[in-house]
Amino acid sequence: MSTATKTIWTIDPIHSEVQFKVKHLVISSVTGSFHSFDGKIKAEGGDFENAKATFKADINSISTNNEDRDQHLKSDDFFNAEEYPKIEFESKNFEKTGEGEYKVTGDLTIRDVTKEIELDVVHGGTAGDPYGNTKAGFEVTGTINRKEFGLTWDAVTEAGNVVVGDKIKLQLNVQFIQS
């Protein structure tokens, strides 16, 4: 039985970015981000193996640098922010695969669909900040298929190009503060 103390880490939104990329017209990518989100990691001591992670993002904080597109994403064609205001993730497994590298599996919920996904996590390190806080930095990446989560809106141009790709690349650069 482990005697290590549980350490709680809380996301620092000021020093974190939550982004996604999706192909547009097959020829380029559109980058979007969420500006309102929170998350926690519960770990044993300073190692993150077998940690538990939770994360939530507010759909109404989505930004793609285009107000019309953002409103479309919030509509029932995509996220339906009115009925499903948050994206949620809860880890099931936080497995160390190398020095500072982890595979994290867990349940991602978008709209009313929950599916297990796998994410690659790189722990960039742990350091103290000028205010006496201990912080840990992570880069989290993964890919999901939007249609598996009920984001099924489609359109095709006259030339036959798909307007929005199915694969969404997730990229989070996040700092956590030790509580």
What's the token pair of residue 80? 């339906």
**What SS3 state is found at 59?**
helix
170 vs 45, residue with greater confidence: 170
CA-CA distances (angstroms) from residue 148 to 111, 113, 118, 151, 174? 11, 8, 14, 7, 26
| Residue 56 neighbours by CB under 8 Å, 6+ apart | 37, 38, 39, 86, 87, 88, 89
DSSP conformation class of 60: G
pTM of the predicted model, to two decimals? 0.88
**Residue 1 in domain:** no
Model pLDDT, residue 152: 77
87 torsion bin: left (phi>0), alpha (psi -120 to 50), beta (else): beta
Per-residue three-class SS string for 111-164: CCEEEEEEEEEEEEEEEECCCCCEEEEEEEEEEEEHHHHCCCCCCECCCCCECE
How far apart are the C-alpha atoms of 56 and 35, rounded to whole Å? 11
Average pLDDT over residues 1-6: 62
**Judging by DSSP bridges, how do beta strands 134-145 and 6-11 pair with one another?**
unpaired
Could you tell me the CATH number of the domain that includes residue 137? 2.40.128.110
Query: In the chain, how many domains are there?
Result: 1
Question: Do 151 and 171 form a contact (C-beta atoms < 8 A)?
Answer: no
69 vs 61, residue with greater confidence: 61
8 vs 24, residue with greater confidence: 8
Average pLDDT over residues 85-110: 96
**Residue 117 in domain:** yes
**Residue 46 in domain:** yes
**Residue 156 in domain:** yes
**Residue 13 in domain:** yes
Q: Which domain holds residue 78?
A: 6-178
